[in-house]
Amino acid sequence: MKTIIKAIFRKFIILSLLVSLLFWGVISFCVAYVIAYEDEILMMEHSGSTGEDFSQWAENITSSPDFKTTKLAYAHFAMSVYLRKLEKLSQAKKELQTALKYADISPFLHIQLADLNIELQDIRGAENECNKAQKLDDKNPDVYFLLGRINLIRDKKEDAKRNFEKAVELEPDYLNAQINLADIAFKANDYKSAIN
pLDDT band, very low/low/confident/very high, at 58 (cuts 50, 70, 90): very low
Confidence check: pLDDT of 60 > 50: no
Q: What is the pLDDT of residue 9?
A: 52
Q: What is the pLDDT of residue 1?
A: 57
Q: What is the pLDDT of residue 153?
A: 93
Mean pLDDT of 111-120: 92
Q: How much is the pTM?
A: 0.65
Which residue, 152, 147, 186, 145, is CA-closest to 167?
145
Residue 146 to residue 176: CA distance in whole angstroms: 10
Q: What is the pLDDT of residue 102?
A: 85
Q: What is the pLDDT of residue 70?
A: 80
pLDDT, tens digit (0-9, with 9 covering 90-100), for 19-51: 554 555 555 554 455 455 444 544 444 444 444
Confidence check: pLDDT of 111 > 80: yes
DSSP 66-115: HHHHHHHHHHHHHHHHHHHHTT-HHHHHHHHHHHHHH-TT-HHHHHHHHH
pLDDT band, very low/low/confident/very high, at 14 (cuts 50, 70, 90): low
Q: What is the pLDDT of residue 162?
A: 95
Residue 23 to residue 17: CA distance in whole angstroms: 10
H/E stretch holding 4 reads helix 2-47
